[in-house]
Structure 1
Amino acid sequence: MDRARKQELQSENLEEVFLPLRDAPYLDYFLSCKIYVAFEDGILAGLIGFRPGSLNFIYVDPTHQNKGIATELIKKALVELERPVRLEVFTNNERAKALYRKFGFERANTITEKWSDEFPVVFSQDTMELR
């Protein structure tokens, strides 16, 4: 796990909730998405996964951020997706939400949950939609 993602998870008190992909119970879900990858100088810089009607995940390595990689990945995915398209994003991730708004996504819903297991946290995410 890279430092930026670890910091993001720590800021949401979710670091202990996530597992390495190879151990993840959601591996089948991940692999059920169509995935595009971006390389820079032969190095994997980012990836996006989507399914009909939704952008499911996007990740750009911190050393490759601010170079337009996320923008290009989203553009490529949106060419293939029929509207409406939905995505979910942490409520406090303003940087990501600003990027999505540039494509016309608007907040459709906010869900806030209190998880009360070994690591009690308040989890809040926005659903954004492009019509």
Structure 2
Amino acid sequence: MQLKHPIPLLLLAVFTIGAANAGVTEDDFVAKKTQNLINLCTASPQDPHYRDAIHFCHGYLVGAFHYYQASTADKRELKMLCAPEPKPSRNEVIDMFVSWAQQHPEYMSEMPVETEFRFLTEKWPCKKAY
């Protein structure tokens, strides 16, 4: 089988591969959108920014969660999520979040903190007794 137009197909393949391996950008570290955070959390170990990206990912997600914990510590009525016992590890939760976010492209333009808590409250909602 001979292709009638091999050049456009070749260009499409090159651009697709290039986009998939674009790597972490400086804009990702601004974290304006969920997509930026997901790019950081899924950085390839071969990416020159890998270490910074993974540390930023973990720091962002854990920091937002710790702020939530501090702001709701004595206010049961404000709790939006209730983690299971035993609690999953930080890495497990981050992996779950990344997987969930990748399955919900409709949230990739939202602020990452919004998407993080959308995931957490969907995954572990509190059961209100009243």
TM-score with structure 2 setting the length: 0.23
Write 1 or 2 for the structure with the bigger share of helix.
2
Write 1 or 2 for the structure with the bigger share of strand.
1
Where relative contact order (Cα < 8 A, 6+ residues apart) is larger, the structure is 2
